[in-house]
Amino acid sequence: MTATYRSLWGKGVFTAVITASLLLAGCADSNRVSPGSHDGKWKVTTTTGMVADIVNQVGGNHVEVTQLMGAGVDPHLYKASEGDIKRIDRADIIFYSGQHLEGKMIDIFEKIGKSKPVKAVTAKLTTDDLLADPASPDNPDPHVWFDVSLWMKAVEQVRDDLIAFDAPNKDSYTANAEKYLAELKELDTYAQTQLASVPKEQRVLVTAHDAFQYFGHAYDVEVLGLQGISTASEYGLKDVQSLVDTLVARQIKAVFVESSVPKRSIEAVVQGAAAKSHTVSIGGELFSDAMGTTGTPEGTYIGMVKHNVNTIVNALK
């Protein structure tokens, strides 16, 4: 991640529309109902599907969640539309992932945060929890949801933020979070057990961009990515060739595409290996920066993680 991520606004009319919307949001805030007097569902706007899933699980019947980024959408490159600004304006509270994942929306969060609660679900994480971006050591890797034990801290953060926002429903938020945390603990154990069944020398995960550091760290998997932490970083022929050489030298037999990243980069690696008489197959599609389609098993955080674990294990065994 670089400082250029914070240069976010477009130019011309679109800038004026967004700025006006944010100013109106601030003026309208005094007319909003307070948590104690709200008799319906709280309107919550979230960024990614992973964040939306936490809010739905913890908020339960007390929240109506609007998710800005759908299946297959890359949060690193996502820019808010005029419609998104309206959805943010209508929200009572906003949740985003944080750690610069939604880099092109930071200014929006800072501006709208002056008039309503805007919360990062990764706010509880400490420097001991976070891994550094190899290309920019001063910045954290934002892909924390790949370590289920860390994502459990995000659940606790949402629970605490909802309780602070809507204290009368504290017991409900606490019970919902406790139930979901128990499910995530089981998920973490499942991932540990399944991945341990793959011989260590075969436990190598090759993907388009370096999104799986936390996954590798948590589940003892070596991770190799063609691009850096952010898909905004460029890769070149030298990067492809270097990865191809590694695959050939170590006889790695499978690589993986990602649902939110174009497949051409990994396909170039497969072709490069073939040119050196080494056959590499695409082991399957993983969900990295976005979950699956709403209504499918992969459209939930638990379903997404299980899909990734099963796909990796089946390809590498």
User: For 176-195, how does the pLDDT look when each residue is reduced to its tens digit (9 = 90+)?
Assistant: 999 999 999 999 999 999 99
Q: Is 181 in the same domain as 217? A: no
Examine residue 104 and state whether it is found in any structural domain, yes or no. yes
Rounded distance between C-alpha atoms, residue 114 and residue 26, angstroms: 7
pLDDT in tens, 244-256: 999 999 999 999 9
Q: Is 183 in the same domain as 97? A: yes
Per-residue pLDDT band for 310 (boundaries 50, 70, 90) equals very high
Which of 140, 170, 190 terminates a domain? The answer is 190
pTM of the model: 0.84
Rounded distance between C-alpha atoms, residue 61 and residue 40, angstroms: 10
Q: Is 126 in the same domain as 164? A: yes
Examine residue 184 and state whether it is found in any structural domain, yes or no. yes
Q: Is 137 in the same domain as 219? A: no
Examine residue 18 and state whether it is found in any structural domain, yes or no. no
Q: Is 185 in the same domain as 224? A: no
CB atoms within 10 A of CB 306: 17
Examine residue 171 and state whether it is found in any structural domain, yes or no. yes
Size (the chain), residues:
317
Which of 166, 190, 214 terminates a domain? The answer is 190
Examine residue 173 and state whether it is found in any structural domain, yes or no. yes
| CATH code for the domain in which residue 308 is found | 3.40.50.1980
CB atoms within 10 A of CB 130: 17
Tell whether the model's pLDDT for residue 145 goes beyond 90: yes
Tell whether the model's pLDDT for residue 79 goes beyond 70: yes
Q: Is 294 in the same domain as 212? A: yes
Q: Is 64 in the same domain as 182? A: yes
Examine residue 253 and state whether it is found in any structural domain, yes or no. yes
Q: Is 123 in the same domain as 48? A: yes
Q: How many domains does the chain have?
A: 2
Helix, strand, or coil (residue 201): helix
Q: Is 162 in the same domain as 285? A: no
Rounded distance between C-alpha atoms, residue 267 and residue 281, angstroms: 10
Examine residue 62 and state whether it is found in any structural domain, yes or no. yes
DSSP element (H, E) containing 13? helix 13-28
Rounded distance between C-alpha atoms, residue 101 and residue 194, angstroms: 28
Which of 190, 211, 231 terminates a domain? The answer is 190
Q: Is 48 in the same domain as 142? A: yes
Asked whether 27 and 71 are in contact (CB, 8 A), the reply is no
> Can you give the residue range of the structural domain that contains 287?
200-316
Q: Is 294 in the same domain as 208? A: yes
pLDDT in tens, 268-303: 999 999 999 999 999 999 998 889 999 999 999 999
Q: Is 182 in the same domain as 222? A: no
